[in-house]
Amino acid sequence: MRKQLLVLMTFVLSFATAFAQGGVVQGRLLDAETGEGVFGASVLVVGTTKGAVSDVDGRFRIANVSGNVTFRISYIGYDQITIERSVSGDVDLGDIQMQPNVIALDQIEVIASVAEERKTPVAISTIKSVQIVERASNQEFPELLKSTPGVYATKAGGGYGDSRINLRGFNSENVAVLINGVPVNDMENGRVYWSNWAGLTDVTQSMQVQRGLGASKVAVPSIGGTINILTKTTDAEKGGNVAVYTGNNGYSKASFALSTGLSEDGWAVSLSGAKITGDGYVDGTWFEGYNYFFNVTKQINDNHILSLTGFGAPQKHGQRQSRASIQYWRDAPEPTRFNPDYGILNGEILSVEDNFYHKPQFSLNHYWTINDKSELSTAVYASTGTGGGGGNLGFSNATAPRIAGTYSPIDFEALIAENEMNADGSASVALRASRNDHEWFGALSTYSNELNNNLTLLVGLDLRSYKGFHFREITNLLGAEYYLDDSDVNQPVKAVRVGDKYDYYNIGYVNWIGGFGQLEYTKDKLSAFASAAISNTGYKREDLFNYLDSDPNQITDWQNFLGYQIKGGVNYNLTANHNVFANIGYFEKAPIFDNVFLNFVNDINPDAENEKIGSIELGYGYRSRTFNANVNIYRTQWKDRAFIRTIPNNTGDDIVANLKGVNALHQGIEVDFVYKPNTKLNIQGMASLGDWEWQNDLTNVQIFNGQVAVGNPFDLRIAGLKVGDAAQTTAAITVEYFIVPDVKISVDANYFADLYANFDPLSRSTTDLGGATGPQPWKVPDYSTVDLRMKYDFKFGNFDATLFGNVNNVFDTEYIADANDGSGSNAASASVWYALGRTWTGGVRINF
């Protein structure tokens, strides 16, 4: 593997040649509004093949230029610039101001708390729209970040939209995800379901990862960090694009985008849409997805802008949910492709495990420039979610009849025959879906006031109201007429048909009110901030199956939890090249919904309490014309981590109790750099070394049901055990080389190590009081992957066009990216998924 990587890297680097003789033209491209360097802009010498792409500081350099020259500077989201100049030697064009042509983008960045390099004292990584277009291929949001320090992302079971991401060892429940400043983590459990947004890479303006406490002002659960996604707004210039893509296993995508530009009376409209289909790399993971986006903006006058935005990505796809032993996959004809969770019916694929969801989001934003010192940005939004995930009823995927042996699809004809044996027409087996529909409304408002030349005050309000509907429904009776269900006390004997609810039906209510304030100080080389936020999370549960309609206990009272956060940081630019920063923070996070209501009924947990998180980080940055680098050291302590344990009581029934006092420590060091020795070659790299462990044991724990002790006392022996589910050591290097100004090839190499299998710390409990610490979770073998990209810009008649090509996992490396720890804490007992092998996509995009 390493030899193959070396050969490929040598092939790429061999294109790098010495500078040609002649004049050298250089300069720096700056955003006219923010003063920041514009990264990735194209600078072309008209009529030649000479050109360059600006680096992370906006600098560019073109060698061997002479005579009367016309330079054309362009970048998505900015007005095109043409410069005519006579060159008879080395020329420095100096700072060139680029004017954004995207309406209200800077106002959205205020709401979204976008961090600025060498100013905001947090560790950040930003991916712009140009990079997203180049890299997206058939990858999803989490995978686009896999070469970012502290990030571990996988495709999980391999289905469309099923990717997951961990940041500094924390899963999505503890990583805040914001789209245009609006939180999208589930209001009940904090999770992020990426399938809801799988198609929205087309309309993303930028994606910024803020590691650690982050710059967000709202009290979001950013223990590991914050992922800030900004969608495109409305382009001030008229135009658009169309694109088509194809790829492995029937992958097909077609998309369009159109903007009217800003009219004389201040109106502008942008639209985009796409359709994505395919069979999936993994057997039975077919998919069909759409995405749509619209923005209507009215620039009322110099002080007021009104903007309406809507987007969504409805999709449905087959899944692989069953993990299995390594030996099970090795015995399969194709370990990386086999899927035990689908079958064949009437000659067509029928998935037992599937997912279908549509979660549109609409927001109305008002931007008010009150005067030259103060602004008010307000967003009112609404989101509805409809869909869920499929599963089996009355049978197991593992033991279901197969068409032709163990490694073949499920035989649904045999399951139908099983139902036909029931003379009354009832179903012994069926397919069902677990539904999670919801209604979500909210408002975000941020007021900014420059108190003086150095001090800015920001205050704001964050309001949310959420209602989640949870139930199961029958989706396919497999030839039967009905399924007999006794789970609804209001209808103890009920014949359930397709589309009817069964098993459970409850509604979760969440109300959130939060406020925040922040002071920002900037003077000369120093910038600092101090912020505080407070929020009240209110939960209420209504159970329509376990309680009679006449029972007042069918709906609970509100259970309120007050959370807060305080944080601050300082950045100091030592010189034009060097800066240092530090931040520190503490916050308390309300328990999730399921930790408040126990036993899957309206039993209120009297011991539910906030989780406590403290974090500190130090960072150093270096900037020069050819080399940029960052080093960050972090330490995050998580106290009173909530765990739920089910224990049989004295009557043989199960009770659910929560364990308190479980702590974890996440600490590590991160390094990233960009090296651009000339206009043709760009090298980026990173390394991340984490040390994430459970910090303490719990000894002589006794669970009580009221005043009665339940079960035997036990010890929880986890001190020093590694946190699982994410690689604690990662590294990456990306090499981009312009063969000519219009042709770029890129190689991404990623390395992952110290990946411990995910495990339940409660599995390390023992009644052998005073015994030894439980075994470490199984350590997954280290692995590395290589991806290859190509981009070719060309003219299609009078239009600019781009040809893309992407190959992921070029060497078809076979590796395990997801593992659950087994009883033996070793490879033989672990349950795993093998990751995807080689995949590819190609496409063309035409701009007009």
Q: Which of 102 and 446 is assigned the larger pLDDT?
A: 446
Q: In the predicted model, is pLDDT for residue 676 greater than 50?
A: yes
Per-residue confidence (pLDDT) for residue 120, from 0 to 100 = 84
H or E stretch covering 264: none
Per-residue confidence (pLDDT) for residue 722, from 0 to 100 = 94
DSSP 329-390: HHHSSSTTT--TTEEEETTEEEESSEEEEE--EEEEEEEEE-SSSEEEEEEEEEEEEEEEEE
CA 227 to CA 209: how far, in whole Å? 5
Per-residue confidence (pLDDT) for residue 198, from 0 to 100 = 78
Cβ–Cβ < 8 Å for 810, 8: yes
DSSP state of 13: H
Give the predicted TM-score (pTM) of the model: 0.86
Residue 412 CB neighbours (<10 A): 24
Per-residue confidence (pLDDT) for residue 18, from 0 to 100 = 34
CA 184 to CA 77: how far, in whole Å? 26
How confident is the model over 321-343, as pLDDT tens digits?
A: 999 999 999 999 999 999 999 99
Per-residue confidence (pLDDT) for residue 1, from 0 to 100 = 46
Tally of residues, the chain: 848
612-to-190, 238, 426, 558, 589 alpha-carbon distances in Å: 16, 50, 51, 22, 6
CA 234 to CA 237: how far, in whole Å? 9
DSSP state of 825: S
Cβ–Cβ < 8 Å for 388, 394: no
Per-residue confidence (pLDDT) for residue 748, from 0 to 100 = 96
Structure tokens at 416: 């139908």
DSSP state of 11: H
Per-residue confidence (pLDDT) for residue 414, from 0 to 100 = 96
Which residue in 808, 822, 812 sits closest to 143, CA to CA?
A: 808
Which residue in 616, 510, 513 sits closest to 566, CA to CA?
A: 616
Per-residue confidence (pLDDT) for residue 11, from 0 to 100 = 41
Per-residue confidence (pLDDT) for residue 104, from 0 to 100 = 54
CA 638 to CA 627: how far, in whole Å? 36
Tell me the sheet residues that pair with 315: 289, 357
Q: Which residue is listed with tokens 């007005």?
A: 79
Q: Which of 447 and 100 is assigned the larger pLDDT?
A: 447
How confident is the model over 15-61, as pLDDT tens digits?
A: 333 333 468 888 889 877 667 778 778 888 887 878 887 876 788 88
DSSP state of 176: E
Cβ–Cβ < 8 Å for 807, 840: yes
Which band of pLDDT confidence, cut at 50, 70 and 90, is reported for residue 69?
confident
Per-residue confidence (pLDDT) for residue 433, from 0 to 100 = 97
Long-range contacts of 186-190 (CB under 8 A, 24+ apart): 187/438, 187/440, 187/464, 187/466, 187/468, 187/510, 187/512, 187/593, 188/466, 188/468, 188/508, 188/510, 188/592, 188/593, 188/594, 189/592, 189/593, 189/594, 190/221, 190/592
How confident is the model over 683-692, as pLDDT tens digits?
A: 999 999 999 9
CA 5 to CA 243: how far, in whole Å? 32
Per-residue confidence (pLDDT) for residue 101, from 0 to 100 = 67
How confident is the model over 130-184, as pLDDT tens digits?
A: 788 888 778 888 998 999 999 999 999 999 999 999 999 998 888 888 888 888 8
How confident is the model over 729-758, as pLDDT tens digits?
A: 999 999 999 998 889 999 999 999 999 999
Per-residue confidence (pLDDT) for residue 443, from 0 to 100 = 95
DSSP 414-444: HHHHHHHT-TT-B-SSEEEEEEEEEEEEEEE
Lowest mean pLDDT among 175-179, 456-460, 841-845: 175-179
Q: In the predicted model, is pLDDT for residue 13 greater than 70?
A: no
Tell me the sheet residues that pair with 226: 176, 210
Per-residue confidence (pLDDT) for residue 825, from 0 to 100 = 81
Amino acid, single-letter form, for residue 381: Y
Per-residue confidence (pLDDT) for residue 176, from 0 to 100 = 87
How confident is the model over 826-836, as pLDDT tens digits?
A: 899 999 999 99
Per-residue confidence (pLDDT) for residue 17, from 0 to 100 = 35
What strands lie across the sheet with 175-179, from one edge to the other? 123-128, 204-211, 225-231, 175-179, 182-183
Lowest mean pLDDT among 517-531, 647-661, 693-707, 744-758: 647-661
CA 679 to CA 625: how far, in whole Å? 11
What strands lie across the sheet with 348-351, from one edge to the other? 348-351, 342-345, 410-411
SS3 48: coil
Amino acid, single-letter form, for residue 520: E
What's the 3-state SS for 118-152?
Answer: CCCCCEEEEEEHHHHHHHHCCCCHHHHCCCCCCEE
Which band of pLDDT confidence, cut at 50, 70 and 90, is reported for residue 544?
very high
Per-residue confidence (pLDDT) for residue 10, from 0 to 100 = 44
Angle CA 344–345–348, to nearest 5: 70
Give the pairing of strands 361-369 and 304-312: antiparallel
Residue 258 CB neighbours (<10 A): 16
Please compute the mean of the pLDDT values over residues 536-551 and round it to a whole number: 97
CA 417 to CA 412: how far, in whole Å? 9
How confident is the model over 499-527, as pLDDT tens digits?
A: 999 999 999 999 999 999 999 999 999 99
Per-residue confidence (pLDDT) for residue 643, from 0 to 100 = 74
DSSP state of 480: -
Output the average pLDDT for the chain. 88
Q: In the predicted model, is pLDDT for residue 78 greater than 80?
A: no
CA 172 to CA 592: how far, in whole Å? 13
Per-residue confidence (pLDDT) for residue 106, from 0 to 100 = 58
Which residue in 429, 436, 519, 424 sits closest to 471, CA to CA?
A: 436
Q: In the predicted model, is pLDDT for residue 12 greater than 50?
A: no
What's the 3-state SS for 553-621?
Answer: HHECCCEEEEEEEEEEEEEEECCCCEEEEEEEEEEEECCCHHHHEECCCCEECCCCCCEEEEEEEEEEE
Please compute the mean of the pLDDT values over residues 681-706 and round it to a whole number: 87
How confident is the model over 777-807, as pLDDT tens digits?
A: 999 999 999 999 999 999 898 888 999 999 9
| Helix segments in 236-323, DSSP class H | none
SS3 413: helix
Residue 190 CB neighbours (<10 A): 22
Which residue in 117, 310, 149, 114 sits closest to 229, CA to CA?
A: 114
SS3 761: helix
